[in-house]
C-alpha cells in the first residue's frame, strides 16, 4: 500500500512536470531574452537595502494594501505614475486607487487623483486582498469573493473580468500567504514583469501549492484572458509572498520581524524550480501585505504594514 502511494505520487509529479513543459513550450516569445539582456544572466543575484521608505499617505492604520510604479514599459499617459491602493475595510477590501503623476508628487503626497472602481466595499467589483498592480492605463486586482481577476480601465471606468483556471481556486481566505502569520485574504496575487501580466494563487487540485497563470488583455475584443498556467510544488501557506521577474516566479519566507528571504524560484520557460535561494529583504515592520517587481526600473515594492518600501534588484 505504501508502495502504491509512492508510485501514485510519482505519477502525479510526472504529469505535473509534463503539463508544465507543454505550457513552457508555448510561453515566452523567442526574442524575449534578447530584448532584455539582463534576463539572460539568470536569476536575481542580490537585492539592495530599501532605496525608498515612506509611510502610506493614508496613515499607519491601514496595514494592508499594495503600491508601486506603473509597470508597463510602453505606457504613454501613466509612464511615470506611482500609485497606492489601501484596503480600508477590515484590512480586506477596498474600492479606491490613488495615482500620482510623478515620484516627486508621490513622496510629497501631493497632486494625486483618486479613482473609485466600485461603489461600495461589498460590490462585485470591489478589490479583495492586497493583490493589485497598475499596468498601463488599467488596474488589475482580485475581484470580491470570487475566483476572478478584475481589470479596471482608468480611462473608461469600465471593469472586465476573467475566471482563473484550476480545480478549486482558492479565494475568501482559503489559501492566503502565511508562514507564521497569515495575511488575510491574500489568496490571489496580481503581478507584472518583462513578459506581461500574471496571477499567482493556489488550487485544491494542486494541493494548495502555488499556481501561476499568464494573463493577456485583448484590446480589439476588450476581453481579459488566461493564456497559460503552471503548477508548482511549493505550498502557498508556507510562503509570505511572491512576485514575477523575467518569467520566473520568486517566493519569500519570514526570517524575523525585520527580514524576509527570497528562497524559491520557478522558471516558466523551463519548468525548473529551486528552493535553495537565500536573498535577504530588509523590513521596517513584521508583516508583508504585498510584494511586486517592476520591469521599468527593476525595483521591488513592498507594502510593509503601512510602510512603503522599494528595493533594487540585481542580476
Task: Give the rounded percent of residues in the chain with a pLDDT score beyond 90.
Answer: 81
Domain that holds residue 201: 2-314
Residue 214: all three cell numbers together: 499568464
Contact 233, 269 (CB under 8 A): no
* Cβ(216)–Cβ(97) below 8 Å: no
* pLDDT(165) > 70: yes
- CA–CA distance, 264 with 197 (Å, rounded to integer): 20
- Reported as a pLDDT band with limits 50, 70 and 90, residue 29 is very low
Classified as helix, coil or strand, 2 is helix
**pLDDT at position 1, please?**
61
This prediction has a pTM of: 0.90
Q: How many domains does the structure of the chain reveal?
A: 1
Do 51 and 313 meet the contact criterion of CB atoms below 8 Å apart? Answer: no
Has residue 32 got a pLDDT over 80? no
What confidence score (pLDDT) does residue 26 get? 47
Query: Which of 13-17, 65-69, 77-81, 295-299 shows the lowest per-residue confidence on average (mean pLDDT)?
Result: 13-17
The DSSP 8-state label assigned to residue 34 in this structure reads H
- The pLDDT assigned to 302 comes to 98
Q: How confident is the model at residue 12 (pLDDT cuts 50, 70, 90)?
A: low
Cα dihedral value 191, 73, 314, 270, nearest 10: 60
Whichever domain contains 76, its CATH number is 2.120.10
Q: What is the mean pLDDT of the chain?
A: 90
Amino acid at each position: 500500500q505504501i508502495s502504491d502511494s509512492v508510485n501514485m505520487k510519482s505519477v502525479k509529479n510526472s504529469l505535473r512536470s509534463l503539463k508544465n513543459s507543454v505550457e513552457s513550450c508555448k510561453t515566452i516569445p523567442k526574442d524575449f531574452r534578447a530584448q532584455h539582456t539582463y534576463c539572460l544572466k539568470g536569476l536575481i543575484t542580490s537585492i539592495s537595502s530599501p532605496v525608498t521608505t515612506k509611510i502610506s499617505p493614508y496613515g499607519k492604520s491601514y496595514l494592508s494594501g499594495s503600491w508601486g510604479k506603473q509597470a508597463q514599459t510602453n505606457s504613454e499617459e501613466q509612464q511615470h505614475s506611482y500609485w497606492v491602493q489601501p484596503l480600508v475595510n477590515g484590512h480586506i477590501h477596498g474600492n479606491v486607487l490613488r495615482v500620482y503623476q510623478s515620484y516627486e508628487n508621490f513622496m510629497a503626497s501631493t497632486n494625486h487623483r483618486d479613482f473609485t472602481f466600485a461603489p461600495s466595499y461589498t460590490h462585485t467589483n470591489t478589490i479583495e486582498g492586497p493583490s493589485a498592480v497598475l499596468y498601463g492605463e488599467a488596474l488589475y486586482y482580485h475581484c470580491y469573493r470570487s475566483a476572478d481577476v478584475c481589470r479596471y480601465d482608468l480611462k473608461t471606468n469600465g471593469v472586465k473580468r476573467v475566471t482563473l483556471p484550476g480545480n478549486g481556486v482558492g479565494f475568501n481566505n482559503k489559501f492566503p500567504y502565511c508562514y507564521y502569520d497569515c495575511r488575510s485574504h491574500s489568496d490571489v496575487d496580481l503581478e507584472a514583469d518583462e513578459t506581461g501580466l500574471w496571477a499567482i494563487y493556489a488550487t485544491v487540485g494542486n494541493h494548495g501549492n502555488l499556481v501561476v497563470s499568464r494573463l493577456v488583455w485583448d484590446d480589439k475584443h476588450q476581453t481579459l484572458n488566461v493564456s497559460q498556467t503552471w503548477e508548482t510544488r511549493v505550498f502557498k501557506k508556507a510562503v509570505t509572498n511572491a512576485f514575477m521577474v523575467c518569467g520566473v516566479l520568486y517566493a519569500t519566507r519570514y526570517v524575523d520581524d525585520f527580514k524576509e528571504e527570497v528562497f524559491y524560484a520557478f522558471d516558466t520557460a523551463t519548468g525548473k524550480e529551486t528552493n535553495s535561494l537565500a536573498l535577504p529583504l530588509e523590513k521596517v515592520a513584521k508583516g508583508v501585505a504585498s510584494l511586486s517587481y517592476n520591469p521599468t526600473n527593476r525595483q521591488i515594492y513592498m507594502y510593509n504594514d503601512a510602510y512603503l518600501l522599494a528595493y533594487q534588484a540585481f542580476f
